Amino acid sequence: MDFDKLLSRMQELRDLSGLVGLACWDQETYLPPKAEPARASQLATLQGLYHERLTDPALGALLDEAGASGNLTADQKAMVRVLRWERDRAVKVPTALVRALAEAQSQGVATWREARKKNDFTVFRPALERLLRIRREQGDALGHGGERYDALLEAYEPGMRVARLTPVLDALKQKLVPMVRTLTERPPPRPVFAGKRFDPDRQWRFCLKLLGDMGFDLDAGRLDKSVHPFTGGSHARDVRLTLRLDEKNPLPAIFGAIHEGGHGLFEQGYSEEHFRTPIAAAPSMGLHESQSRLWENVVGRGRAFWGHYFPALQAELPEGLGDVSPDEFYAAVNRVERSLIRVEADEVTYNLHIVLRYELELALIRGDLPLDQLPGEWNRRMGALVGVTPKDDLTGVLQDIHWAFGELGYFPTYALGNLYSASLWNAAKREVSGLEVGIGRGALLPLRDWLREKIHRQGFRTSAEERITAVTGHGLTDTDFVEYLKGKYSALYGVAL
């Protein structure tokens, strides 16, 4: 088989998706405000072309030919498998449904914003109803073995299934709820940031220094500002992170930088011989998130890390941190709270926010939960899981944009990221000698190098759970994560967990 013909198709697709990445990055960073409608058209055209090329029957024939060929390398087989997977899903959904979803998405986001302004879920409800109907139809078009949600989850976490995921999240929930209770009964750490100012330029400089120490290559990537931080770009040598700077609080920038840096290292770490092919990619959002969470939480909110970095941070931000000790800082960035907003949640309660969303969206997709009961169910479950009840829709069901985009099946990948991060951390500690001592001296590259070899360079050659199993010796589990929390927080809060 002449693989080059197929390869050049793969490269064309990757170039187009790289350009989508550039146009989206630009939209969030430098696009002039009046250019919004023009950019929307440009993106629709580009994504339409991508879809057209992906579903082109000639590509299907090339993939068939490759599938039947006996002389492909292992990497070539993986490329064929991944592209066929993507193409089959694209082909199965009728064009009319794709278009209906795109329309419902823009309507969804618009009415979600409107509903937030009015703090009223009912404004958003008809659009969500429509999105749910389309996503259910889409799930059925994609096909599944009786659990429609599986077909949606597959887009974000290929290979993962409800039957596998639910028991793990159930077990996790059972352990987290009492842990949160115990920790929030203890006296909270001293608030150290209130009423102070943290120079944005110096926050920026400190973040750049951190990214450099993590091994993020700023000659193959960038750091810019945006309202919502994200990792984007057009290629493994063009990885673009963004940050939000807050004069009143340095934590969004610092942990944003470490988090996006974790994503960015994955993107920069693909094997050069996989560039412009389907396997220069993460095998799942959950595995991608495991990198950002490992860096942000396990490393970046660790005592060893701040033992090294706090003096430097204090020197950059003397007005704000002059009277704070390293231990106070460490306690403040790990404060466990019964709070309402997912994106501000600490790492103990965070997964409960996810479990809440997972259970609700699973019920919505199954048709087990009428939409008019959604806000009430949200609030009731929030009380049961986290122990605090939203007083309105804004701090409840309307807080996340995901559903407004019709993104159902995405939330669990955050929890998977957390669970995988702890398992990877245990494996890294076993295999990299002196890992924690090194981090306490600011030596972050040994972890980067280990992750690069074990995770990043592997790309999409296997599924996420296969990769995790290969690296850690076992598949998805809540054990490593729960043990990690117990060890860290029993010491920090001086209480048995």
Task: Decide: is 278 part of the binding site for a second copy (CB under 8 A).
Answer: no
Task: Decide: is 277 part of the binding site for a second copy (CB under 8 A).
Answer: no
Backbone angles phi, psi at 433, to 5 degrees: -70, 140
**Sheet harboring 238-243: ordered strands across?**
221-225, 238-243, 231-235
Stretch that binds a second copy, among 14-22, 68-76, 301-309, 386-394 (CB under 8 A): 14-22
* Residue 260 falls in the annotated catalytic set: yes
Shortest separation between residue 41's beta carbon and a second copy, angstroms: 6
Instruction: Determine how many CB atoms are found less than 10 A away from the CB of residue 494.
Output: 9
Rounded Cα distance, 339 and 386, in Å: 7
The kind and range of the H/E element at 235 are strand 231-235
Task: Decide: is 37 part of the binding site for a second copy (CB under 8 A).
Answer: yes
Task: Decide: is 49 part of the binding site for a second copy (CB under 8 A).
Answer: yes
Task: Decide: is 12 part of the binding site for a second copy (CB under 8 A).
Answer: yes
Instruction: Determine how many CB atoms are found less than 10 A away from the CB of residue 491.
Output: 11
Task: Decide: is 392 part of the binding site for a second copy (CB under 8 A).
Answer: no
Rounded Cα distance, 455 and 276, in Å: 18
Q: Across the chain, which distance is largest between two alpha carbons, in Å? A: 68
DSSP secondary structure string for all residues of 311-373: HHHHHH-HHHHTT--HHHHHHHTT-----S-GGG--TTTHHHHHHHHHHHHHHHHHT-S-GGG
Shortest separation between residue 98's beta carbon and a second copy, angstroms: 17
Task: Decide: is 7 part of the binding site for a second copy (CB under 8 A).
Answer: no
The kind and range of the H/E element at 221 are strand 221-225
Task: Decide: is 272 part of the binding site for a second copy (CB under 8 A).
Answer: no
Rounded Cα distance, 163 and 165, in Å: 6
Q: Is the CB of 260 or the CB of 480 nearer to a second copy?
A: 260
Task: Decide: is 45 part of the binding site for a second copy (CB under 8 A).
Answer: yes
Only one residue has tokens 């709070």, namely 339
Map residues 414-453 to x or -, x wherever contact with a second copy holds by CB under 8 A.
Answer: ----------------------------------------
Task: Decide: is 23 part of the binding site for a second copy (CB under 8 A).
Answer: yes
Give yes or no for a contact between 296 and 259, defined as CB atoms under 8 angstroms apart: yes
Task: Decide: is 28 part of the binding site for a second copy (CB under 8 A).
Answer: no
Q: Is the CB of 54 or the CB of 464 nearer to a second copy?
A: 54
Shortest separation between residue 52's beta carbon and a second copy, angstroms: 10
Shortest separation between residue 35's beta carbon and a second copy, angstroms: 4
Helix axes 464-472, 285-293, angle to 10 degrees: 50
Considering the candidates 260, 296, 377, 407, report the single residue annotated as catalytic. 260
Q: Is the CB of 34 or the CB of 74 nearer to a second copy?
A: 34
One residue of 3, 6, 10, 16 binding a second copy per CB under 8 A? 16
One residue of 2, 5, 30, 181 binding a second copy per CB under 8 A? 30
Q: Is the CB of 99 or the CB of 429 nearer to a second copy?
A: 99
Instruction: Determine how many CB atoms are found less than 10 A away from the CB of residue 366.
Output: 13
One residue of 2, 35, 117, 212 binding a second copy per CB under 8 A? 35
Residues 198-237 that bind a second copy (CB under 8 A): 217-222, 224, 234-237
Task: Decide: is 70 part of the binding site for a second copy (CB under 8 A).
Answer: no
Beta-carbon contacts of 51 under 8 Å, excluding residues fewer than 6 positions away, are 90, 98
Binding residues for a second copy, rule: CB under 8 A, are 11-12, 15-16, 18-19, 22-23, 26, 30-35, 37-39, 41-42, 44-46, 49, 217-222, 224, 234-239, 275-276
